[in-house]
Copies of this chain bind each other. A is one copy, B any other.
Amino acid sequence: MKHSAVRQTIIDTASDLFYNNGYNLTGINEVIKEAGIAKATLYSHFKSKDELCSAYLQHKHGTFLEAFDTYVNDVPKGKKRITAIFDFLKEFYESEGFNGCWCINTISEIPKEKIELRTEIKNQKNEFRDVLLNIIKDSLPELKPKKKKELANQIYLLYEGAVSESFLHGEVWPIDSAQSICKILLA
């Protein structure tokens, strides 16, 4: 197996385990056993569990953004596309293995001193806000720049709240609620 293929196997395996069972609750031994590799192999690809955590976050982020873009861009521009953001979330919520937001989950598990991981998480969220802003720019070009940014932040806030709360309660209403608020904001 190619070097990079092993690396990807590790990331995929770790991602599933970290996301499903929690970062601290998943031991290195579990990862290597599931990935079918030796312990030192893991440490030759990632110099610490934290570094693997970083790779996990990036992997989830990349996969998410791709799925998100694909879904949303498939919807006609305009307000429809904006509210489709929450349709996407509903699908995400209903998909097998939904476990809330990896960023929120992970930030609770790591000590404050681990600046690099916390920065990674902030960056992801900021990038997601940019993605939302671009969708707005595309879909609602008539809005003033300031208004666009404000709306992006609002939708971001609703989205994040809906992820957390639908997960916490195990119920879909927070997503519906977020979407209904979104429609009001667009009115």
Contacts and interface: CB of A to CB of B under 8 A. Distances in A.
A162 interface: yes
A41 interface: no
Nearest to A158: B161
Nearest to A178: B157
A14 to B, nearest CB: 16
A134 interface: no
Interface of A: 21-22, 24-25, 100, 103-112, 121-122, 125, 150, 153-154, 156-158, 160-162, 164-165, 168-169, 173-174, 177-178, 180-181, 184-185
Main secondary structure of the interface of A (DSSP, over half): helix
Contacts of A174: 153, 157
Given A22-B111, A104-B104, A111-B25, A160 B165 contact: yes
